[in-house]
Structure 1
Amino acid sequence: MEKPIIIFGAKGIAHPALEIFNSHDLVVYGFLDEDESLHKKEINNVAILGNPEDDGYLKLIGKKCEAFVAVDDARYRSSLVKMLNEKRKVQPVNALHRLSYISTDAAIGHGNFINAKVSIGAGASIGNHCILHTNATIEHQAKIGDFVQIGAGAVVNSGTTIGNGVFLGSGVTVVAGVTIGKNARVGAGSVVIGDVEANQTVFGNPAQVVEK
């Protein structure tokens, strides 16, 4: 990756994403964030330049710069990715921490944030635009969809299937072979021993459906 990177978002994972790119000796051109109160401020000497939809900066993407989307909220992250796909015909790059372990037999998509001490096992697959926080473990042959967020220290055991848009809180354990449906949410510290339906929220040990 020879081009400098523009990071979309200046909160949440933006700062650790900058650290990851710096550790690979990659140049971060600047940040773009919709919060105008942050404009002209800096994160570790890198400027927050303006708004993500500013054409003056967008026109750099694909020609002179790469893009990375550092936004925790899955819906907003999805809208920024869609904008980059449609307006600039590009996919965001991955931010892969040097201290992560990714098996040579694992498959990784585009635009993922994979922090320190994340372990991804043989035959596992990670979709696009996922966030894997520090010390998360994805065991062999687990399948992770798109726009999934997995909290620090979570363990996704072998042969599991995690649908698009799923949120797993910190310290969650998903036992082998379980399927978690699209947009489901699992509360921190939960132990998931059975399948979770799409859009359900579960919590506890063992995880139970939280009634709305």
Structure 2
Amino acid sequence: MEKPVIILGAKGIAHPALEIFNSNNVDVYGFLEEDEELHGKEINVVPVLGHPEDDGYLKLIGKKCEAFVAVDDYKYRQFLVKLLNERRKVQPINAIHKTSYISTDSTMGHGNFINARVIIGAGTELGHHGIYHSGVLIDHKVTIGDFVQIGAGAVVNSGVKVEEGAFIGSGVTIVSGVKIGKNARVGAGSVVVADVEEESTVFGNPAKPVKP
């Protein structure tokens, strides 16, 4: 990659995203962050330049710089992706750690964060703007929608379908063939043996619905 990267967001996954780009010899120009208290500060000598909606910095994205959205919050991540799509006519790039393994028979969209030791199996389809934390194992023939977040060490077995906006906590195991519905949440350490309805939250071994 010849162009440097501007990272939108300076908290959460922003620091490991910087490490990913550095490890792949990709220059990071700076961070854009909504928290004004971080403006002018540095993360590993890379400056926090200003606000993500500042046209003075946004205009660099496209011709001079690539962009990556390093925001954990689902709704704000969506907002920033839409901002880049509409105002700069670009898609965020992927941040892929060099120790991850991604099958040559899998497919992947834009703007994904794939941290250290993530394994993506054959025939798997990853959507756009997902977050895959360290050590996630995704077996073969899995389908994952856009804006999904999967916590460190989670295991997603073959044939699973995870729909848009779902959150899967650290250490979760999802057995083969299960469907996780849109915007569903699976608590850390859970073992999911049956389908999870959209917008619902489950937890435990076996995972069961959590009442509001």
Report TM bin, short chain: over 0.9
Offset at residue 142 of structure 1 (A): 0.4
What is the TM-score with the length of structure 1 in the denominator? 1.00
Q: Is the partner of 2:194 in helix, strand or coil?
A: coil
Corresponding residue of 1:108: 108
Equivalent residues in 2 for 1:60-209 (5 A)? 60-209=60-209
| TM-score, structure 2 as length reference | 1.00
Give the distance between the partners of 1:105 and 1:2, measured in 2 at CA.
26
Distance 1:122 1:51 in 2: 39
2:16 alignment partner AA: P
Percent of aligned pairs sharing the same letter: 71
CA distance in 2, matches of 1:128, 1:21: 18
1:23-71 deviations in whole A, cap 9, x for unaligned?
Answer: 1111100000000000000000000000000000001110100000000
SS in 1 for 2:47: strand
Provide structure 2 residue ranges, at least 5 long, that are not aligned to the other structure: none
How far residue 86 of structure 1 moved from its aligned partner, in angstroms, is 0.5
Deviations 1:127-164 (A, max 9, x none): 00000000000100000100000000000000000000
CA distance in 1, matches of 2:49, 2:102: 33
SS of 1:20's equivalent? helix
In 2, Cα distance between equivalents of 1:31 and 1:90:
17
Secondary structure, counterpart of 1:11 in structure 2: coil
* RMSD of aligned residue pairs (Cα, Å): 0.4
> What is the rounded CA distance, in whole Å, between the counterparts of 2:104 and 2:211 in structure 1?
41
Counterpart-to-counterpart distance in 1, 2:192 and 2:37:
41
